[in-house]
Structure 1
Amino acid sequence: MTITIAWERKLPGGSELVFCSDSRLSGGGNIDVCQKVFPLPREDAAVGFCGSTLLAYPVIHQFISYVRQYKKNMDRAIDGSELPRRFAALINRFLEAYINPVDLKSELMETSFIVGAHSWILKRPVISRIRYENSTKRFVAASTRFPRKQSATLYKAGDFTVIGDLRPQFYQRLAKLIDYEGASKFDMQPFSALTSMLGDIFSPIGMVSSKARSVALPS
């Protein structure tokens, strides 16, 4: 079980893009010291994932290499809002390059990504969820917000994404830290909700020794 979160943190005079995640990988056992959030070399963006490392790790490292080696990425001539679409295109090309692939259906359905970046065109952070659509057999990027049914006011607070299989538990925990009826912006409450989940004695995403990783990227 796993969870990764990204949101826009509103500050006086600006905002930050914040990522955090649990640190557990499983497969033959559990290891609670693993990276799931990766800052990109252009320094205004990051990628996070949940799911199969068979897909996630090689794709993320290829995307990091793409950003580093393409000058228009490094000098930010390519706006941050372009990155989610380019990430989805890369993972689809990656899958097309498989030779004699094993059946990856379960890995495809369980693996999703978050790409977030600052957009100088929109003048705000942009956050997109990238997940596999079985109908089109492709990964697709889409911007997301806080669920309107949970909070109509936080729905308007900017982009917000949660991926993983513990989303209902996360929203319940977050409700103890922020007023769903009246709050209109996020500070670090999502991070606090995740750390409290990690602190549960029998947490399915890590014990007390687990560490949530947070990357705050100034806009």
Structure 2
Amino acid sequence: MTLGMAWLRTVGNIRELVIASDSRLSGGQHWDANPKIMLLPRTDAVLSFAGNTWDAYPLMLQAYNSIKMHLPASSRAMDLEDLKGHLVRVFNHSRKFISGLPQGQKIPDDPEAIFVLSGFSWKNKAFKVWTLHYDRSIQGFTFRPAKEWGGQAGGTSKLIAYAGDNEPITAAKERLISLLRDRGKLNTGSFNMEPFEVLRDLIREGRHPTIGGSVQLVKIYEHANAVPVGVYWPSKGAGIISVLGRPLMNYERTPWGVIDPDAPDRAYPAHGLDNHVIDE
């Protein structure tokens, strides 16, 4: 499945929403070069997923197409808050066309996928994160908002959402708390790139077979633009540049910045970056 995170990063007066995930699809084999974060056909939001690709990919593509064909959604006249409701309706409407059920089965199987909608709301002048999930009690998709951590000192906030398997999510939460405690930030300050560091370490250690591949990363800025950021993987010295989960080929260039996974606070400028040669 997946380990994905979306968190609010604050450095000085600058805030940005960071969305990160591993890049592994599993199903009898491991395929470690797959996008789990989709940039939508509007600049202020992304949709990420965890779960079964049989359920996730069709709904993500329908979400993308529904935004592209609906001018208020694609132009951002439809605020992120309203877009969330639109996507829930698209998901539920799409599932009405499932047929050919096994004999005696009256409704389709519950979808084994959840989605995270992350973006910047121009109405609220704030970053927002929602988990779009299936609720069996209403036989449809609904949503829940990410909430800030409680018990924080005045003037600080920590907002984060997780998506994925229970075991790696539990491990990620425990490690994030431990890391913040070691740095004296458990009850003060805001997130920087600590969640990225936790995800990076869990992938590198390889203890959770459902997560793997490179870290894929997207940032959303307060000027309402989402940008995929490259990651040197598995390290800056030995790795190649990976963008949205896929290692780039030797003739490809990324027009965006690239980060060193061991020093993720700083993005290297994209100008002049060439990827390492991949042996064919």
Which of 141, 144, 156 is 2:143 aligned to?
141
Does the residue aligned with 1:175 lie in a helix, a strand or coil? Answer: helix
Q: CA 1:146–1:163 in structure 2 vs 1: closer, same or farther (change >3 Å)?
A: farther
- CA deviations on 1:112-131 (whole Å, 9 max, x unpaired) are 11001100111111100011
Q: Which runs of 5+ in 1 are unaligned?
A: none
Does the residue aligned with 1:54 lie in a helix, a strand or coil? Answer: helix
Task: Say if 2:8 and 2:160, in contact at 8 Å, map to a contact too.
Answer: yes
The one-letter amino acid paired with 1:95 is: R
Task: Say if 1:3 and 1:22, in contact at 8 Å, map to a contact too.
Answer: yes
Aligned residue in 1 for 2:203? 198
Q: CA 1:51–1:162 in structure 2 vs 1: closer, same or farther (change >3 Å)?
A: same
Distance 1:75 1:45 in 2: 12
Distance 1:57 1:86 in 2: 17
Which of 154, 173, 178 is 2:175 aligned to?
173
Aligned residue in 2 for 1:48? 48
Task: Say if 1:15 and 1:124, in contact at 8 Å, map to a contact too.
Answer: no
**Larger Rg: 1 or 2?**
2
- CA deviations on 1:33-68 (whole Å, 9 max, x unpaired) are 111111112111000100011111111111111222
Distance 2:3 2:206 in 1: 17
Distance 2:115 2:206 in 1: 28
Task: Say if 2:177 and 2:186, in contact at 8 Å, map to a contact too.
Answer: no
Aligned residue in 2 for 1:24? 24
Kindly indicate whether residue 221 of structure 2 is the aligned counterpart of residue 218 of structure 1: yes
Aligned residue in 1 for 2:192? 187
Q: CA 1:206–1:127 in structure 2 vs 1: closer, same or farther (change >3 Å)?
A: closer
Q: Which runs of structure 2 are paired with 1:149-168 in the superposition (5 Å)?
A: 152-153=151-152, 157=157, 159-165=159-165, 166-168=168-170
The one-letter amino acid paired with 1:126 is: K
The one-letter amino acid paired with 1:26 is: S
User: Percent identity at matched positions?
Assistant: 26
Q: Which runs of structure 2 are paired with 1:85-124 in the superposition (5 Å)?
A: 85-101=85-101, 104-105=108-109, 108=111, 110-124=112-126
Task: Say if 2:158 and 2:191, in contact at 8 Å, map to a contact too.
Answer: no
The one-letter amino acid paired with 1:153 is: Q
- Kindly report the root-mean-square deviation, in angstroms, between the aligned alpha carbons of the 2 structures: 2.1
Distance 2:211 2:51 in 1: 15
Q: CA 1:161–1:201 in structure 2 vs 1: closer, same or farther (change >3 Å)?
A: closer
Distance 2:211 2:129 in 1: 26
Task: Say if 1:5 and 1:163, in contact at 8 Å, map to a contact too.
Answer: yes
- Distance apart, 1:95 and its partner CA: 0.8
Aligned residue in 1 for 2:127? 125
Task: Provide the TM-score with structure 1 as the length reference.
Answer: 0.87
Distance 2:100 2:17 in 1: 39
Distance 1:79 1:36 in 2: 23
Distance 1:182 1:138 in 2: 37
Does the residue aligned with 1:61 lie in a helix, a strand or coil? Answer: helix
Q: CA 1:94–1:118 in structure 2 vs 1: closer, same or farther (change >3 Å)?
A: same
Q: Which runs of 5+ in 2 are unaligned?
A: 223-280
Does the residue aligned with 1:178 lie in a helix, a strand or coil? Answer: helix
- Distance apart, 1:159 and its partner CA: 4.1
The structure whose residues are more often helix, as a share, is 1
The one-letter amino acid paired with 1:80 is: L
- Distance apart, 1:73 and its partner CA: 2.1
Task: Say if 2:49 and 2:114, in contact at 8 Å, map to a contact too.
Answer: yes
Task: Provide the TM-score with structure 2 as the length reference.
Answer: 0.69
- Distance apart, 1:176 and its partner CA: 3.0
